[in-house]
Structure 1
């Protein structure tokens, strides 16, 4: 399923895309007509139960099904089958607080009925420690947002544990213990490891300052690490590999040496001319993962803005828009497909940064996109548009 970034340009130009054209929108309505949101489990206006139906990419109102514990759609969800039955994810009443639905006729990969997002978990935090429940809840909230975007983009999201042991995806949420080895956030062979300290706001902010980073969030971590996973799925061994090396660099360069050099010497002085972030300058793999993460930031944020009806007629910002010279490959249709998308992003974030400053908060998007960074974003865009021949290898 394409997201707005992959739709024809006329639907995105000037942020005028209508709500019904969005796949990854974030504005939903209860059966009573009130707005409800991605995390909601209950409509506060009419007390109707709610759940997220990932195949429909919608938060939907629910009514009791034929048996206890079963639910059906109220019938207001676009494309939904009012006769279909669902269970709530088994993590609904855990600290994860998952509001996603599991179709009754879907294969159940374990003794528990877990949704498409929760069945990706291989290791969760030790819940005998009270604070870990809070941290896990924050992590799962970010992960559900990530997974919903991946599904909206039509990417393969299959559990390494129960659906695709060879090419699937799984998460380990781990904690560094006193006297034990430090847990490093990263990706290896489809397993994404996250140090749960990243869900502790104070610890994460301390680390952000130590690393001299302008931005550090749970969702940003997850988007970055899943970028490594999809590099393996979409680029490695595909016709995109040689073009990737020409644009990002040769990933066969010694990664450990590159990382050591980065932490010893810092980013090159001219990194901002070529990369989306300083960390992207470490190695071609990190350049891809950072660019991928920023692309997902852009898609989800623009879809959210458009789904709430924000249009360019409300935005008055003068800036020099990117032109076809910033495209990775100037093909027919790209000027009216990708360029409006990236220029809408520049316009929107300029306003959102000012709003953040008005609240005394850090900039919403503390980055400046160079022509080279936009060219790499366009490369990611093209890989996603033409992924079908390789996504299910």
Structure 2
């Protein structure tokens, strides 16, 4: 994630800002330019200061304070690039469900920032009725014992609204023995399943992927039952980024994909702040990193890992000094780095292909 600047006064803006805290200008995200812009009323539309005064509409979800993006030129349904992928949303007349949906939208928009930065193919259900990417945000039915489960099914990603309840999310994290559980983590994991379909199976990379992650044709239901009955093998950290990744190659890919997005987005933010890690006791330079590069343009995964390990060592130490859990409580073994390298290659191929002359 980047830092942004208000075109009206030069103040620093953050991705979730609705207004500049210095001059009061309303601000919005311009997805095709990947930047925040100060905007001014122009009839029913808004004049964009970052785009030579062109006018554009705010997303329809701005009226619920759930979106701060501008629509694309000529967008007929009134929704931005992120919100056009919404299917079912909660009951917005219920204040608690509205508040929960807003939290989900914050995480979803951060996800779409990364997807757009990678120039990934994003077809909504109206573009591809069978396989397009769509999100259903569902609340539990108080009259039913069944609970909504977060998951992916052929482009349909369901996110349980109850995950926005901090207490409930922490309870589930502890029950499942997870060191990390966030809304953004859910979005990144589930969209990994979608892009396995698009980039691996649909992109002719299936055999290459199986050579790295294993045979995905093994029975998923059986693997799921075995995982919850027996748990992860004792030596799982040698080959997997999380215990859940041991369950099935599909979950291994989705977990690795999510961690790759964690790493790239966080390193971009660190680079925006010009962060540098230089421990006084580090005589060999293994814990030293100067984060000045764009991680979206990293040549190889080693460049990312070489910055990530010192950065997270420092941030974990700072968190412990505050009595908090580690920022990144995971181990990147050589095998895991190899899997991250596979995801890196997939995304680099997409970016290079989208940047070729003649591409739309």
TM-score, L = length of structure 2: 0.90
SS of corresponding position for 1:235? helix
Match in the other structure for 1:71: 46
How far apart are the structure 2 equivalents of 1:304 and 1:335?
A: 15
How far apart are the structure 1 equivalents of 2:303 and 2:340?
A: 13
Match in the other structure for 1:203: 168
Deviation of residue 237 (structure 1)?
A: 4.1
SS of corresponding position for 2:32? coil
Deviation of residue 243 (structure 1)?
A: 1.3
Q: 2:178 aligned with 1:213, yes or no?
A: yes
Cα deviation 1:327-381 (Å, max 9, x = unaligned): xxxxxxx996321211101111111111211221111001011000000000000
Cα deviation 1:83-105 (Å, max 9, x = unaligned): 42111111112152x110114x3
Deviation of residue 314 (structure 1)?
A: 8.2
* Residue pair 1:42, 1:49 contacting (<8 A) in 2 also: yes
Distance 1:300 1:31, change over 3 A: same
Deviation of residue 168 (structure 1)?
A: 1.7
Q: 2:252 aligned with 1:287, yes or no?
A: yes
Aligned Cα RMSD in Å?
A: 2.3
Q: Which runs of 5+ in 1 are unaligned?
A: 1-23, 322-333
Distance 1:336 1:233, change over 3 A: closer
Match of 1:351 among 299, 306, 314: 314
Match in the other structure for 1:177: 141
Match in the other structure for 1:28: 5
SS of corresponding position for 1:139? helix
Distance 1:365 1:335, change over 3 A: closer
SS of corresponding position for 1:43? coil
Instruction: Please show how residues 30-179 of structure 1 align to structure 2 within 5 Å.
Output: 30-65=7-42, 67=43, 69-74=44-49, 77=50, 81-96=51-66, 98-103=67-72, 105-108=73-76, 110=77, 113-160=78-125, 162-178=126-142, 179=144
* Residue pair 1:95, 1:134 contacting (<8 A) in 2 also: no
* Residue pair 2:6, 2:20 contacting (<8 A) in 1 also: no
SS of corresponding position for 1:225? helix
Cα deviation 1:260-319 (Å, max 9, x = unaligned): 101000001111000011100000000000000000000100011111222346897567
How far apart are the structure 2 equivalents of 1:31 and 1:312?
A: 34
How far apart are the structure 1 equivalents of 2:353 and 2:32?
A: 22
How far apart are the structure 1 equivalents of 2:286 and 2:275?
A: 21
How far apart are the structure 2 equivalents of 1:338 and 1:367?
A: 17
Count of residue correspondences: 344
* Residue pair 2:298, 2:304 contacting (<8 A) in 1 also: no
SS of corresponding position for 2:136? strand
Match in the other structure for 1:21: none
**For structure 1, which segment, 130-139 or 292-301, has the greater mean C-alpha deviation from structure 2 after superposition?**
130-139
Match in the other structure for 1:236: 201
SS of corresponding position for 1:206? helix
SS of corresponding position for 1:301? helix
* Residue pair 1:124, 1:136 contacting (<8 A) in 2 also: yes
* Residue pair 2:3, 2:12 contacting (<8 A) in 1 also: no
Following TM superposition, the consecutive aligned residue runs of length 4 or more in structure 1 with deviations greater than 4 angstroms are 312-321, 388-392
Match of 1:378 among 338, 341, 358: 341
How far apart are the structure 2 equivalents of 1:234 and 1:50?
A: 34
* Residue pair 2:301, 2:340 contacting (<8 A) in 1 also: no
* Residue pair 1:95, 1:136 contacting (<8 A) in 2 also: no
Deviation of residue 210 (structure 1)?
A: 0.5
TM-score, L = length of structure 1: 0.82
How far apart are the structure 1 equivalents of 2:36 and 2:119?
A: 18
How far apart are the structure 2 equivalents of 1:299 and 1:258?
A: 30
Deviation of residue 137 (structure 1)?
A: 0.7
SS of corresponding position for 1:33? coil
Higher helix share: 2
Deviation of residue 142 (structure 1)?
A: 0.4
Match of 1:365 among 296, 321, 328: 328
